[in-house]
Amino acid sequence: MGVIISFINLKGGVGKTTCCANIAGELARENRKVLVIDTDPQANVSTLLMGPKRYQQKFGYELDENDIYRDTIYQLFLDAMEDNENKKRFNFGTAIIKSVVRRTIQGKEIRPLTQLDLLPATSHLMQLEQKIVNYVRSRFAILSKFLEQIKDYYDFILIDCPPNIYTTTHNSLYASDYFIIPTIPDYLSISGIPLLVNSLNKTIEIKREEKNASVKLAGILINLLDTRINVHKDGLQRIRRLLEIFKQENMVDENSIVFRSIITNKVDIKKASGKYLPVCVDKPRSDSTMEFRNLCHEILNIISK
């Protein structure tokens, strides 16, 4: 049974995409079958895993605008709002890009992570908010309903969310078993977390009422730590205290943690992203690879509880 995990934060640039892609890479390297879903019109995780050249080839040069997004998550949402069965076009078989990560060695393309697939997004997804205004039937349950069909094919489905809490984020959360909040341990990043948790809890409650199923905070993931900065050290303490308060007020699951495995600010991560590879493929023996590996083990531990 596949486990669905969303990476969510209202705050931009905290590493949702980077952590989602690298955790996916590490899980796939450990031979788990992983699907990454892009629910952000910025399409960052799609570009990061496909590389801009393949992304452009697939989504950049089509003549008919409507055909560009046919094999993306946007079409999945459009189909859900379409009553005419003949007009539905989304097909998991063609939309999902199998063994998405590629690298070229001595002129030959290889697939270093055969177990890692992608359901991509394009910027067209930005139009969803206007289109969905008049659609009232279970508007947060759309993605969840689709994923029921493929959930068991994967060990993990990881969803990269945009830096907002609009339709796709609510859909991702509703579809998930767990969510992870990546954050930078600085004042501005931390101060938005209570608002975020409160907003997400409304959707979690809707899911509980509609499906009698839970979505749990697996944990808060500290990313981009720079130990030279005192503010970051203080930030770590603040995040731990915040989680305790959330637990006292029953705002999060009692097993939620601040992950002990912290992802530090490292040039290896940037370099790997610049080559459109997870760091475990680009630098298998780097500190960053070890940090993501330890983090994956903590995640596996949480979800086995």
Ligand X SMILES: Nc1ncnc2c1ncn2[C@@H]1O[C@H](COP(=O)(O)OP(=O)(O)OP(=O)(O)O)[C@@H](O)[C@H]1O
The piece of 10-18, 57-65, 123-131, 200-208 that touches Mg ion (CB under 5 A) is: 10-18
- Considering CB under 6 A, how many residues would be counted as binding ligand X? 19
44: alpha, beta or left, given left = phi > 0 and alpha = psi -120 to 50? alpha
In a 3-state reduction of DSSP, which class is residue 103? strand
In a 3-state reduction of DSSP, which class is residue 183? strand
Comparison of 6 and 223: residue with beta carbon closer to ligand X: 223
Indicate whether 44 belongs to the interface with Mg ion (CB under 5 A).
yes
Comparison of 168 and 253: residue with beta carbon closer to Mg ion: 168
Q: Which does 12 bind (CB under 5 to 8 A by kind): Mg ion, ligand X, none?
A: ligand X
In a 3-state reduction of DSSP, which class is residue 259? coil
Q: Which of 6, 9, 17, 115 binds Mg ion (CB under 5 A)?
A: 17
In whole angstroms, the minimum distance from the beta carbon of 273 to ligand X comes to 5
Indicate whether 10 belongs to the interface with ligand X (CB under 6 A).
no
Q: Which of 6, 18, 72, 167 binds ligand X (CB under 6 A)?
A: 18
Query: CB of 169 within 8 A of CB of 8?
Result: yes
Comparison of 18 and 46: residue with beta carbon closer to ligand X: 18
The conformation of residue 51, written as its DSSP 8-state character, comes to: -
CA distance 49 to 54: 10
3-state secondary structure 196-256: HHHHHHHHHHHHHHHHCCCCEEEEEEEEEECCCCHHHHHHHHHHHHHHHHHHHCCCCCCCC
Comparison of 97 and 180: residue with beta carbon closer to ligand X: 180
Indicate whether 6 belongs to the interface with Mg ion (CB under 5 A).
no
Q: Which of 13, 52, 60, 284 binds ligand X (CB under 6 A)?
A: 13
Distance of alpha carbon 277 from the chain centroid:
16
Indicate whether 47 belongs to the interface with Mg ion (CB under 5 A).
no
> Which residues in the 31-90 window bind ligand X by CB under 6 A?
40, 42, 44
Q: Which does 269 bind (CB under 5 to 8 A by kind): Mg ion, ligand X, none?
A: ligand X
Query: CB of 217 within 8 A of CB of 177?
Result: no
H or E stretch at 181: strand 178-183
In whole angstroms, the minimum distance from the beta carbon of 160 to Mg ion comes to 6
User: CB count, 10 Å around CB of 51?
Assistant: 19
Comparison of 273 and 289: residue with beta carbon closer to Mg ion: 273
Indicate whether 286 belongs to the interface with ligand X (CB under 6 A).
no
> Which residues in the 214-273 window bind ligand X by CB under 6 A?
223-224, 263, 265-266, 269-270, 273
Query: CB of 295 within 8 A of CB of 261?
Result: yes
Q: Which does 263 bind (CB under 5 to 8 A by kind): ligand X, Mg ion, none?
A: ligand X
Q: Calculate the alpha carbon distances from 6 to 64, 67, 140, 215, 219 in Å.
A: 32, 28, 14, 10, 11
- Considering CB under 5 A, how many residues would be counted as binding Mg ion? 3
Indicate whether 16 belongs to the interface with Mg ion (CB under 5 A).
yes
Q: Which residues bind Mg ion (CB under 5 A)?
A: 16-17, 44
Residues that bind ligand X (CB under 6 A): 12-18, 40, 42, 44, 163, 223-224, 263, 265-266, 269-270, 273
